[in-house]
C-alpha cells in the first residue's frame, strides 16, 4: 500500500511539473546521454570522463532527469542525478546537477524529493554522497557530515579518466 501511495505521489508530482514547464523522470529512455556527458565531462568531479563511462554508469544506476519544455513544447534535459544502489541497504548519490540557467527554480529540491520518496530507495540503512558546495541542499533531506570518518576508506584514482583512451 505504501509503495502504491508513493507511486501515486510521484505521478501527481510529474503531472504538476508538466503543467509548470518541467518534469522529472526516472525513465532512462527519456534521458539525453549527450547532454549528461557534456555537463559531467566539464564538471569539477568528473572532468574529462569519457562518454562510454557515462553511458555504462547510467545503465547500471537508478537515474533521474529534469526535463524542461521549450517554447515549441519539446523537451530538453536540464538536470540529472544518479544513485548507485543495491536497493536493499545502501545507495550512493552522484552526478547531481541543474544547468545554470534553470537554477533558482526549486528544481534540485523537487528532484531530491522524488529521489528520497522513490520506492526503490525505501528502507535503506545508509545513503551517501560527496559534495563540495551543496551541503545546505542535502541537509534539508536529512544528510549530515560523517559521524566517524575513521570508519570510511576509499580507493582514490583522481586521474583515471586521463589514463583511459
pLDDT of residue 13: 62
- Could you tell me which residue, 161 or 100, shows the higher pLDDT? 100
Kindly tell me if the per-residue pLDDT of 102 is higher than 90.
Answer: yes
pLDDT tens-digit map of 103-154: 999 999 999 999 999 999 999 999 999 999 999 999 999 999 998 888 888 8
The closest alpha carbon to 62, from 80, 45, 83, 77, belongs to: 83
Average pLDDT over residues 22-36: 97
Average pLDDT, the chain: 90
Domain at 2-163, CATH homologous superfamily: Gcn5-related N-acetyltransferase (GNAT) (3.40.630.30)
The continuous run of DSSP H or E covering 112 comes out as: helix 107-117
Q: Which residues contact 55 (CB under 8 A, 6 or more apart)?
A: 33, 37
pLDDT tens-digit map of 43-54: 999 999 999 999
3-state DSSP assignment of residue 80: strand
Residue ranges per domain, the chain? Answer: 2-163
- Integer Cα distance of 80 and 26 in angstroms: 10
pLDDT of residue 17: 47
Lowest-confidence segment of 9-13, 37-41, 86-90, 160-164 by average pLDDT:
9-13
Amino acid at each position: 500500500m505504501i509503495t502504491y501511495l508513493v507511486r501515486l505521489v510521484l505521478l501527481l508530482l510529474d503531472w504538476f511539473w508538466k503543467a509548470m514547464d518541467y518534469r522529472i523522470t526516472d525513465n532512462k529512455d527519456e534521458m539525453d546521454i549527450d547532454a549528461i556527458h557534456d555537463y559531467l565531462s566539464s564538471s569539477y568531479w568528473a572532468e574529462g570522463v569519457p562518454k562510454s563511462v557515462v553511458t555504462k554508469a547510467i545503465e547500471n544506476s537508478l537515474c533521474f532527469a529534469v526535463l524542461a519544455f521549450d517554447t515549441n513544447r519539446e523537451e530538453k534535459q536540464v538536470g540529472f542525478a544518479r544513485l548507485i544502489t543495491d536497493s536493499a541497504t545502501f545507495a550512493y548519490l552522484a552526478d547531481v546537477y541543474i544547468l545554470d540557467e534553470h537554477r533558482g527554480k526549486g528544481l534540485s529540491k523537487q528532484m531530491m524529493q522524488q529521489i528520497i520518496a522513490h520506492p526503490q530507495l525505501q528502507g535503506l540503512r545508509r545513503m551517501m554522497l560527496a559534495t563540495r558546495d551543496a551541503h545546505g541542499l542535502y541537509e534539508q533531506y536529512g544528510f549530515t557530515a560523517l559521524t566517524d570518518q575513521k570508519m570510511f576508506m576509499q580507493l582514490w584514482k583522481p586521474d583515471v579518466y586521463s589514463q583511459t583512451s
